[in-house]
């Protein structure tokens, strides 16, 4: 799980790095980074849904010792990813400006968001190809190589953020939009490095990656059937989060800036939780491929205990030093005072999430991804109703708004747990 965590943390490190620099630029920039960051995350999780479906298939073929199928699965995944990235770029340029003008209240916030996203979205092809590489390396149990690309991307984003946002060492001073340019460059560099590693380690040759890169309708259909419920699930989830941030924007830039900081903290520490979730997906699928269905529940409990232990440690650290974590954004005392109660709610949500994602991704590993989608739709319905009533209708503080995370993750945990315990997944073939 640790190398997987390192790879998942890359987009979150980019978000956090961007937001720390933008916090020192202005409160408005930090506030708007919440809306633009979550919007880009919508497309990032579409890639994650494709990645997880593909990963499950690769792990199943590895468990069945069908190594010849893995290269073709990867190649078709790359083809699908490039098509999805083109769709994402077109939507961002043609549709999103109208939606933002309709949903946001502040004209300056609207224009800053549009200008940023028109640049940032061009990093999508690089991110998707990066995620396909994740699916391959995790699926074939070579996750240790993920760390190399991760390190390159994180360090280059830190450097280029500083150069482009503030215009240092002769680089243009781009302010808010500089964060978008820096992220694109770092995604490209990370992608180049990790594919060089695949070539250097002979993985390209072993699985014939790109050697027979032609369209395979049957394999493409298999990937889409496996991944589309996950793509829909993740997309619905993050769209609801964007809805949450739009409602927060109606409360003013201070609350929006605080919520953006919470997203960074939730996202960063949640990466380690999601790493165990990804491990649950791959290992459950692999164990089923070996014909060891009777060991699956035992495996899930082992992963869940590790995940909860990590989340408890994170919760203790966050609640012991809240001011330390919040001061990096360069905001005043009002920001920190508003943020501390929210931080305590978020840290508790991380613990609930640590159990929920393991059981949910175990469902993914069984191959019955439609169940994931049904669970997500139920949870999102409850979530959206709650945040609208609390934030828009009752106009309560954002502390109560963030309690929605408790409701959401409990709504995911309970049905996932009972589905896996029921054993109905044992007859599923992929």
pLDDT digits (tens, 9 = 90+) for 37-50: 778 877 887 887 88
- Supply 39's token pair: 């919007």
pLDDT of residue 338: 87
Within 13 A of 65's CA, how many CA atoms are on the CB side? 2
Residues 6+ apart with CB under 8 A from 232: 49, 373, 376
Query: What span, in angstroms and rounded, lies between the C-alpha atoms of 330 and 61?
Result: 49
- Supply 246's token pair: 């739009």
Longest CA span, the chain: 63
Is 263 in contact with 77 (CB distance < 8 Å)? no
- The values of phi and psi at residue 214, to 5°, are -130, 155
pLDDT of residue 8: 63
pTM higher than the cut 0.85:
no
pLDDT beneath 70: ranges in the chain: 1-15, 27, 134-135, 138-141, 143, 204-213, 428, 430
Distance, CA of 43 to chain centre: 9
Query: What span, in angstroms and rounded, lies between the C-alpha atoms of 232 and 45?
Result: 9
Is 249 in contact with 106 (CB distance < 8 Å)? yes
Is 13 in contact with 182 (CB distance < 8 Å)? no
């Amino acid at each position: 799980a640790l190398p997987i965590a390192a790879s998942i943390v890359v987009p979150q490190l980019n978000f956090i790095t961007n937001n720390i620099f933008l916090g020192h630029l202005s409160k408005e920039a930090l506030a708007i980074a919440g809306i633009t960051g979550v919007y880009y995350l919508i497309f990032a999780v579409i890639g994650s849904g494709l990645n997880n479906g593909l990963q499950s298939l690769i792990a199943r073929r590895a468990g069945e010792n069908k190594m010849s199928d893995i290269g073709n699965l990867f190649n078709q995944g790359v083809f699908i990813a490039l098509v999805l990235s083109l769709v994402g770029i077109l939507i961002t340029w043609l549709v999103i400006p109208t939606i933002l003008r309709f949903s946001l209240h502040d004209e300056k916030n609207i224009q800053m968001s549009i200008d940023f996203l028109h640049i940032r979205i061009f990093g999508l092809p690089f991110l998707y190809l990066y995620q396909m590489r994740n699916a391959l390396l995790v699926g074939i149990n070579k996750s240790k190589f993920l760390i190399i690309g991760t390190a390159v991307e994180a360090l280059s984003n830190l450097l280029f953020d500083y150069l482009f946002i503030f215009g240092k060492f002769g680089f243009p001073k781009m302010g808010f939009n500089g964060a978008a340019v820096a992220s694109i460059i770092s995604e490209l560099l990370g992608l180049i490095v990790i594919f060089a590693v695949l070539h250097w380690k002979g993985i390209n040759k072993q699985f014939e990656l790109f050697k027979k890169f032609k369209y395979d309708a049957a394999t493409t259909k298999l990937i889409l059937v496996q991944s589309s419920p996950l793509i829909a699930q993740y997309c619905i989830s993050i769209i609801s989060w964007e809805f949450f941030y739009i409602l927060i924007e109606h409360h003013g830039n201070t609350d929006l800036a605080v919520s953006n900081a919470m997203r960074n903290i939730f996202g960063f520490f949640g990466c380690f939780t999601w790493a165990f979730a990804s491990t649950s997906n791959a290992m459950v699928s692999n164990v089923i491929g070996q014909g060891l269905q009777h060991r699956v529940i035992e495996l899930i409990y082992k992963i869940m205990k590790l995940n909860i232990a990590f989340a408890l440690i994170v919760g203790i650290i966050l609640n012991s030093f809240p001011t330390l974590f919040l001061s990096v954004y360069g905001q005043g005392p009002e920001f920190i005072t508003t943020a501390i109660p929210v931080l305590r709610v978020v840290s508790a949500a991380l613990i609930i999430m640590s159990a929920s994602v393991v059981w949910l991704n175990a469902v993914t590993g069984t191959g019955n991804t439609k169940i994931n989608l049904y669970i997500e739709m139920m949870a999102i319905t409850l979530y959206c109703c709650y945040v609208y009533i609390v934030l828009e209708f009752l106009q309560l503080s954002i502390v109560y708004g963030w309690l929605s995370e408790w409701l959401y993750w409990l709504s995911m945990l309970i049905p996932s747990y009972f589905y896996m315990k029921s054993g109905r997944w044992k007859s599923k073939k992929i």
